[in-house]
């Protein structure tokens, strides 16, 4: 998931440099959403991994 966020971030940077503002904004928004989903899943996996086994 973090890989896709980085890909969309790079696409947003390239689109912004080439002057495609709409595409750059959309790609940056998608990258931000994917990053936060990755962050939430990462924190949940850390918490679940620290639970004692029953």
Domain count, the chain: 1
In a domain, 36, yes or no: yes
What are the angstrom distances between the C-alpha of 33 and each of 3, 7, 28, 40, 47?
13, 13, 9, 11, 21
Domain extent for 20: 2-49
| Distance, CA of 17 to CA of 20 (rounded, Å) | 8
In a domain, 44, yes or no: yes
In a domain, 54, yes or no: no
Confidence of residue 35 (pLDDT cuts 50, 70, 90): very high
Determine the 3-state secondary structure of 23 from DSSP: helix
Q: 19: left (phi > 0), else alpha (psi -120 to 50), else beta?
A: left
Q: What is the pLDDT of residue 51?
A: 76
Q: What is the pLDDT of residue 26?
A: 92
pLDDT at 41 over 80: yes
In a domain, 40, yes or no: yes
């Amino acid at each position: 998931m973090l890989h896709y966020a980085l890909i969309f971030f790079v696409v947003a940077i390239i689109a912004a440099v080439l002057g495609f503002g709409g595409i750059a904004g959309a790609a940056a928004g998608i990258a931000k959403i994917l990053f936060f989903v990755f962050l939430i899943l990462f924190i949940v996996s850390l918490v679940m991994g620290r639970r004692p086994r029953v």
